Amino acid sequence: MSSTGSPILFTDRLILRVPEAQDFDAFAAMCADTETMEFIGGAMERSQSWRLFCALVGAWQVTGWSMFSVIERDTSRWVGRIGPWTPEGWPGNEIGWGLAKEFAGKGYALEAAKASMDYAVDILGWEDVMHTIHPDNIGSIRLAERLGATNRGPTQLPVPLQDYRVDNWGQSAADWRARRQSV
């Protein structure tokens, strides 16, 4: 826990903490990247990124959880955002992810997603965890499979995202507990 009572998670190479104002420039740069954002809402202007960033930060105040800022321990660079995400009308309790392009392929998404899964199951008490993934998002599908999730079929996001094609990849907390040591 931080001095403010906010959770801080540590992995071998990463720190997962509540987003801070200093994270916004890197967050906005990630959100502006067309390739990175292809399956997670599309590239955004800086002003749109600001609203999403504030929604993530605000969710911490309203619900007590939201996505973490992921920080590289060795360099203190902002890597991405990963963690619990359950906005109003969402089809379930999700662990979502998005990393800046320069950090892709280093195993950071798996490392941070595992810590987030443990947090959701062990601290938040979630009995089920899902990931909403576009059927063409092969990278996220592979990550979900590595976490042990299975494709439960199409699901629908709330307005204004109701037209996005996504599948519900998920698993029970019991399934996660049984396999997490081998992930």
pLDDT tens for each residue of 16-70: 999 999 999 999 999 999 999 898 888 999 999 999 999 999 999 999 999 999 9
Alpha-carbon span 11 to 30, nearest angstrom: 22
pLDDT of residue 4 exceeding 60 = no
Q: Of residues 113 and 6, which shows the higher confidence score?
A: 113
Return the pLDDT at 30: 97
The predicted-structure confidence for 105-127, as pLDDT tens digits, reads as follows 999 999 999 999 999 999 999 99
Return the pLDDT at 124: 97
Strand 150-155 relative to strand 166-172, pairing: antiparallel
Q: Of residues 160 and 78, which shows the higher confidence score?
A: 78
CB 117 within 8 A of CB 144: no
The predicted-structure confidence for 62-76, as pLDDT tens digits, reads as follows 999 999 999 999 999
Return the pLDDT at 37: 87
Q: Residue 142's closest CA among 183, 173, 176, 179? A: 183
CA angle, 113 then 76 then 55, to 5°: 55
Considering the entire predicted model, what is its pTM? 0.94
| Percentage of residues in the chain having pLDDT higher than 70 | 97
**How would residue 1 be classed by pLDDT, with cut points 50, 70 and 90?**
low
Return the pLDDT at 2: 55
